[in-house]
Each structure stands twice: as C-alpha cells, then as structure tokens.
Structure 1
Amino acid sequence: MSGSNTPIYEGLIEELGDVPGKVKATAESELEQLRRDFGFGPVRVAGNAAGPEGHAHGRFPRALSA
C-alpha cells in the first residue's frame, strides 16, 4: 500500500476492485442505453426549479400554488 491518508479505502480497492468506479460506469452505460431506446436527451435543471413546498414554480395557477 502507498502512504496516503486513506489506507482502509486503498485496501478495499486492492481486495474488491474499484466498486464505486464500476457502479458509476454501469450507471452511465444504462443511462446511455435508455437515451438510445427512448430518445431522451440530457436532463437540465435551471435555477431553483422547486420551491420550498416541493412543487415547481409556475406550473400551477397562483390560487393553487400559494
């Protein structure tokens, strides 16, 4: 092992492989497959999309969203 500040993590990587890296790669691959299958583009969030109540601003009439 090298002399870094994360010897436990490095030991797990040596023993089990880079599990978080494999999970990320698998998730990215699955997302790409879904985009191809369903024609989805990247999801974009602009600004503060949801208010403190949890619903998006501007989606409901003022009387219902107040």
Structure 2
Amino acid sequence: MSLKNYTVKGMTCGHCEMSVKEEVGEIPGVTAVTADHNTGAVTVDGEGFSDQQVAAAVAEAGYTLEQ
C-alpha cells in the first residue's frame, strides 16, 4: 500500500471533508481516505492511483489540491 498526504484548500466544515472523502474514495485502487478541515490535510491510502487523479477528484468535490 502507498500512503500519500495532500493539502486541500477550501475545506471549512465536516460536510467538506465528506465530499472530498467520497470523491477521492471512488478512485480505483484507493482503499482509505482521511480528511481534516481544520488543517486541510487529506491522506490517501491504496495502490495504483496518481496525484492527477486525486487532484481531479478534489476538484470534482469543489476544492483545490495544493501542489
């Protein structure tokens, strides 16, 4: 498994966290997602996913992945 950490801009509440977790969790190969709106931290666990896929999923949820 590969554990990657990201920072997401725009998450301000628990609903934001759920939206990001739901979208990122749909990426093939992702097995777990955690998000913290207080820090903007998102941790993704799994195999075979790319940073671009995570960025696209975060954008689909309405937020921006900091690069």
> TM-score of the superposition, structure 2-length normalised?
0.25
Q: Which has the higher Rg, Structure 1 or Structure 2?
A: 1
Q: Higher RCO, 1 or 2 (CA under 8 Å, sep at least 6)?
A: 2
Higher helix proportion: 1
Higher strand proportion: 2
